[in-house]
Amino acid sequence: MKNTFRNILLGGLAVTMIASCDLNLVPTDSIVYEEGTPLFLTQRDIAEFQNGVLASYRGLHYGSAWQTVEVMTECFNATIDFGNNYGFVHRLGSGFLASDDYTTGIWAGHYSAIKNYNIAIEQCDAVTDEALIADANILKGMALFCRASSYLTLVRAFAADYDPATAGTQLGVPLILKYDQLEKPVRATVQEVYDQIIADLDEAEALLEEAAENGNIVLNGNPTEGTLNLAGQARAIAPTVDAVKFLKARYYLDVHEYDSAASYAEEVIGSEAGYQLSATMPEMETEFMLDEGKESIIRLYAKKGGEGNVGCTLYTGVSSTDNEGKFFQPMFIPSQALVNAYNNSDLRKQLWLPTDMYPVKVQGTLYNGIAMFTKYIGNPTLQSGNNEDGAHYCKPLMLAEMYLVAAEAYAQDGDEGSAEAILKELKTARKAGDMTLDIMEEIKLEWLRETVGDGQRINCIKRWGDGLPARPAQRAAENIVMNTPVSDYTGRELASDAHTLVWPIPSYEIKISPALIQNPGYSAE
């Protein structure tokens, strides 16, 4: 049993490694698991599997999991040194195929993780020892949360945006709810996927609320300090009731149930956990550089030297030489469109888009005065060498998003007063200036400013029915940005109905399961 158990956990940990890098490999690890095999015989068994589930969840954030989305947008330009990394995704032309390494890697990473979540759920249901049931219920609640999170990511990326009129017929993604290596799935409808997401979240909320009320402690044997209030706490080391409510707010915004979206978002904002927006530069630095602020709903385990570290070096790539000092060697840099989105007083522009941190080195030449994207430059307490290496704690759920969800939900429901009031709280904290635009345009702009780099942009564009504008180069960076041909790079625009806003089902999946139907606009290759 123990060997079987370890093999399953390794499957989850493999996802972490793949998703944090280039996501260019399809997981092929074999899981030695037979249905009905009891895995949870002791409290330690449950705790260890809990760590594996959280490792799977952690591995699906940052790195390529987010960068793949971001380089599609108007916010970033490829430098002439980008080496075609994310090239097809960035250009979104005819070369964007169903075999693209980056999008197929995200598909593979999430379904590999779902495998682990499904096994955890099945095993928790099989526990009959009264001494283990409370711990098993905590694990089940977390696994249900993680599964819902993966399915929400998958259906947003690989299906058209949720439309109440067509969700019952529009193809979503395969629903795999039970471990079965031989299953050849078919695509469920968008409605069926969203129905499963809310069913998982409802059950997760009930289980974690019960655990919180009973004062149960989670993560016995986890190599991290501190305890966890399962109701909620800033920088929680595992999913809590507040984390579930966070995902419910996302869910209800997607399905156009705006009262519920606003309600859940407000519950997280007003939680007794005491989450708080950063409103000064020291607070912003503490939150986004040191990962120690009060905005993160979850902050998963990491340590210096690698384990748990998640990074985004695509935008920075800090190096140094004895005679030149430190310099950036980025593959992608902020576009002029992103720079122009902020006023000069905005704390986010000052912290995330500096022009004077280090010069930029491209093809052996140093350039000064170029705005760089440093939101994920790295936490120095996790840094292994002398140069910033992008290492961070995984913080996938941030408080500011709840202000954005609530504001958008109120606006979509016709309550512009409430929308403006809650958006002002975020804008005031970030020093973003007064409102000068129509309320929905203000909300859209704040989504861009606040969540840039977080893998949210394409989902927002789809939800609003908008297209993507061109991505003009920074004036100071015109010599180092790819611009040939213009239509593939700085001039790239996408209409709101562009088929590439919905990613292709991986070609290898269709070869294995011929019943899977490809999304419109893509060939089988």
Lowest-pLDDT range of 5-9, 200-204, 240-244, 248-252:
5-9
Lowest-pLDDT range of 20-24, 79-83, 264-268, 423-427:
20-24
Q: Tell me the pLDDT band of 8, cut-offs 50, 70 and 90.
A: very low
The CATH number covering residue 237 comes to 1.25.40.390
Residue 330 located in a structural domain: no
Q: What pLDDT digit, counting tens, does each position of 348-367 carry?
A: 999 999 999 999 999 999 99
Amino acid 465: pLDDT: 97
How much is the pTM? 0.92
Residue 520 located in a structural domain: no
Question: Tokens in use for 329?
Answer: 């060697």
Query: Cα separation of 92 and 456, whole Å?
Result: 17
Helical packing angle, 439-451 and 416-430, nearest 10°: 40
Residue 525 located in a structural domain: no
Residue 383 located in a structural domain: no
Question: Tokens in use for 169?
Answer: 């017929």
Q: Where are the alpha helices (DSSP H) in 364-475?
A: 399-412, 416-430, 439-451, 457-464
Distance set, CA 469 to CA 75, 336, 487, 492 (Å):
10, 12, 12, 7
Q: Tell me the pLDDT band of 444, cut-offs 50, 70 and 90.
A: very high
| Residue 102 pLDDT greater than 50, yes or no | yes
Helical packing angle, 63-70 and 2-19, nearest 10°: 30
Mean pLDDT for the stretch of residues 298-310: 84
Count of alpha carbons within 13 Å of 279, Cβ hemisphere only? Answer: 9
Mean pLDDT for the stretch of residues 481-495: 94
Amino acid 35: pLDDT: 67
Query: Cα separation of 312 and 377, whole Å?
Result: 7
Q: What pLDDT digit, counting tens, does each position of 379-395 carry?
A: 999 998 899 999 999 99
For residues 26, 27, 33, 38, the Cα torsion angle rounded to the nearest 10 degrees is -120
Stronger pLDDT, 268 or 180, i.e. the higher one: 268
Amino acid 275: pLDDT: 97
Mean pLDDT for the stretch of residues 438-461: 97
Query: Cα separation of 268 and 402, whole Å?
Result: 7
Amino acid 24: pLDDT: 31
Dump the DSSP string for 54-101. Answer: HHHHHTTSSHHHHHHHHTTSTTEEEBTT-TTTTHHHHH-STT--TT-H
| Residue 161 pLDDT greater than 80, yes or no | yes
Q: What pLDDT digit, counting tens, does each position of 367-381 carry?
A: 999 999 999 999 999
Mean pLDDT for the stretch of residues 324-343: 97
Count of C-beta atoms within a 10 Å radius of residue 131: 9
- The answer, yes or no, to whether the previous bond of 354 is cis (omega within 30 of 0) is no
Mean pLDDT for the stretch of residues 219-241: 74
Domain total in the chain: 1
Question: Tokens in use for 507?
Answer: 């070609």
Amino acid 216: pLDDT: 65
Task: State the residue range of the domain holding 291.
Answer: 2-301+397-512
| Residue 4 pLDDT greater than 60, yes or no | no
Residue 41 located in a structural domain: yes
Amino acid 146: pLDDT: 98
| Residue 226 pLDDT greater than 50, yes or no | no
Count of C-beta atoms within a 10 Å radius of residue 388: 24
Lowest-pLDDT range of 49-53, 105-109, 282-286:
49-53
- Give the list of residues 6+ apart from residue 267 with CB closer than 8 angstroms, or none: 242, 245
Q: What is the mean pLDDT of the chain?
A: 90
Residue 385 located in a structural domain: no
Amino acid 222: pLDDT: 47
Lowest-pLDDT range of 6-20, 23-37, 461-475, 479-493:
6-20
β-strand pairing of 325-327 with 365-367: unpaired
Amino acid 179: pLDDT: 84
Q: Tell me the pLDDT band of 177, cut-offs 50, 70 and 90.
A: very high
Q: Tell me the pLDDT band of 186, cut-offs 50, 70 and 90.
A: very high
Residue 370 located in a structural domain: no
Q: What pLDDT digit, counting tens, does each position of 41-97 carry?
A: 998 899 899 999 999 999 999 888 999 999 999 999 999 999 999 999 999 987 899
Q: Where are the alpha helices (DSSP H) in 71-178?
A: 87-91, 101-126, 130-158
Residue 33 located in a structural domain: yes
Amino acid 380: pLDDT: 94
- Give the list of residues 6+ apart from residue 249 with CB closer than 8 angstroms, or none: 261, 262, 264, 265, 268, 402, 405, 406
